[in-house]
Amino acid sequence: MVMAISSSYALMLLPLPLLALLLLIASFLLRPAASSATSWDKQQQSRISHGKKNKLPLPPSPPGGLPIIGHLHLMGAQPHLALRDLAKKHGDLMLLRLGAVPNLIVSSACAAEAVMRMHDHVFASRPRSTVAEILFKSSMGVAFLPYGEQWRKNRKLVTAHLLTVKKVKSFGQARRDEVRLAIAKIRMHASTVIDMSDLIYSFSNDLVCRAVSGKFFMEEGRNQLFREIIEMHMALLDGFNVQEYFPRLAQFDLLTRVVSGKVKKLQERWHQLLDKLIDAHANKSSRNLIDDARNEQETDFIDVLLSLQQEYGLTSDQMKAILIDMFAAGTDTSYITMEYALAELVRNPHVMAKLQAEVRKNTPNNQQMVTEENLGNMTYLKAIIKETLRLHPPAPLLVPHQSMVDSNIDGYMIPAQTRVIINAWAISRDPRSWDRAEEFIPDRFITGSTVGVDFKGSDFQFTPFGAGRRICPGLNFALATVETMLANLIYCFDWELPTGREDIDMTDVFGLTMHRKEKLFLVPKPFDHVLEN
C-alpha cells in the first residue's frame, strides 16, 4: 500500500490562468508573501557567497523563478516528467521554490539513498497537510503524522499487529473468496467487452474493506458506501489547498473555511460509518465472541485494534485515524498495479503467453483457480509485477518527506523544514540504472545485472513503496493481493482487445496516485481446461 500523497502536488495541476488569477489576488492581499519570494531570488544569487561563508552551497535551482509562484509554472500537468527534464539540466538534487515553500527534488538512485538511508533520521518527517489536519484533528494515523514519539508508537502498532507477514497470510481465505467472486463475474460476461478497470477496483476495495471490518462490510450495502467515501477522501487529498504553499494565507478565514467545509463533510461520513463498525465489534467483544474470532484464521483490523486499545492507550479518534489510513491506502495501490499489469500483458502477447504457460504449468489440473500455495514457483509472475511497478509506480513522486534539521547531502546544504520530493518514476526509468529503461521487459528480473533488484527498500533505483523509516508498511498486503488476482486472471482466461482496437492507450493522468487516462476494456475468453473442470 502506498500512503496518500500530500495535496501539495495538486497545485501543479491547476490551469495556469486560474493559478495566475488566484496568486495575483494573493499578492495584493499578502505583500509579505511577495517579499519572501524576492528573498528567495536574493538567496539564490548569494549561493556563491553563502558557500564561501559556510563551505556548503545550496543545491542548484533552475533559472526562471517568478515572484510569488516561484517555479510552479515549470511543472505543467505532468510534474514527474517536468522534474525529470529539469534534473537532466540541473542535477539529481535541485532546490525549487513552489509558492513560498522550498522543495528538494531527488532524481537519482544515489541521491535517494542519501535521503532515505544515510540521512533517513533527518528526512523522516512529513510536511503539513491541510486536509489531514482538519480530518484527523490531533489524532493522525501513520501516513501524515510528523516524525516523533506518537508516529513511532502508531507505526509499531501497524507493523507489529496489523500488517505482519503472519497477519497478511491470515487473510488468505478472504483473498480466495474475493478472487472467486471476481472470476465468477467475469465468467458471466465471457466473450463480451468488460470494464476491467471497474472490476479490478471493486475487487481491491472489497478486499480492503473485509480486512479492516470483516464480514460487517457486506451488510447493508456497506461495500458501496466504503467505496464512495474512499473516493471522496482521495479526491479531497488531491485538491487545491493554497495554504500549503502560501502559509501566510492561512490567516484569511475565507480560504480556510472553503477547505474546512468540504473536509468536515467527509469527516462526518467517516465517523458515522466507523463509529457503527467499532460499536458492532465492541459489542461482539463484550459478548466474549471476540475470543472465538481469534481462534479463526481471519481476524479483522478493528478486532485487533480493540484488543490493543488498553495496551497502546488508543482513543476512539486514534483508532479511526489508523483505520482511515488502511482504507485509503489499501485500495489504490493494488488496483493501479493490477490494471497496469494486465494492460501491459495484452500489449505484449509474447509476455502474456510466457506467463500463461508458467501459471498453468504450476496449477494442478483438477483446480479451477490458482491458490496461494501454487504461487511459490511462479518466478515470471513476480518479475512481471516488479516490471509493472518499475514502469508504473502508483505514487510517482512518493509521499513527501521533510527535513527536521540542517543537513549536508552530497556537499549541499539542505536547510531544516525543506520539503523533499523523491521522483521515484524518473529514478526507475533512469538509463544509468536500467537497460532499455522505457520498455516493458520482465526478463530483466530473471537474468542480467538487475536480477536481484527488489522493491523492499534496499535497492534505491527501485523504490515504488519508498524506503527507510517511512517505507510503506502495507507492502506485503498489496503484493499478496496482486499476485493472487493476477495469476487467476491469467489462468482462467485468454484476453483480447475489443473488435476494432489495435492497442491500449497507456497515457497517464497525474494526481494523488497516477492512473491510466482511459479505462481498460477487454474481452475475456474462458480457458478450455478450466471450463472442463
Whole-angstrom Cα distance, residue 470 to residue 407? Answer: 18
Q: In Å, what is the CA distance from 119 to each residue of 116, 407, 465?
A: 6, 8, 18
Name residue, grid cell 495501490: 333
Helix (H, G, I), strand (E, B) or coil at 525: strand
User: Can you point out the beta strands (E) in 241-341?
Assistant: none
Contact 429, 437 (CB under 8 A): yes
Helix (H, G, I), strand (E, B) or coil at 37: helix
Query: Which amino acid makes up residue 154?
Result: N
Q: Residue 297 has what pLDDT? A: 53
Whole-angstrom Cα distance, residue 327 to residue 223? Answer: 11
Rounded to two decimals, what is the model's pTM? 0.90
Whole-angstrom Cα distance, residue 347 to residue 423? Answer: 26
Characterise 411 by phi-psi region: left (phi > 0), alpha (psi -120 to 50), beta (else).
left
Q: Any idea how long the chain is?
A: 533
89, HSE (Cβ side, Cα atoms, 13 Å): 8
pLDDT digits (tens, 9 = 90+) for 161-189: 999 999 999 999 999 999 999 999 999 99
The three cell numbers of residue 105 are 527534488
Q: Residue 253 has what pLDDT? A: 62
Whole-angstrom Cα distance, residue 490 to residue 522? Answer: 13
Characterise 265 by phi-psi region: left (phi > 0), alpha (psi -120 to 50), beta (else).
alpha
Whole-angstrom Cα distance, residue 507 to residue 520? Answer: 12
Q: Which domains, from first to last, does the chain contain?
A: 7-532 (1.10.630.10)
pLDDT digits (tens, 9 = 90+) for 121-155: 999 999 988 888 888 876 788 988 999 999 999 99
Percent of the chain scoring above 70 in pLDDT: 83
Backbone angles phi, psi at 110, to 5 degrees: -65, -45
Contact 408, 56 (CB under 8 A): yes
Question: Cα-atom radius of gyration of the chain, to the nearest Å?
Answer: 24
Which residues in the chain show pLDDT less than 70?
1-54, 138, 216-222, 239-240, 250-256, 258, 285-298, 529-533
Partners of 509 in the β-ladder: 515
Residue 209 in marked binding region:
no
Whole-angstrom Cα distance, residue 479 to residue 481? Answer: 5
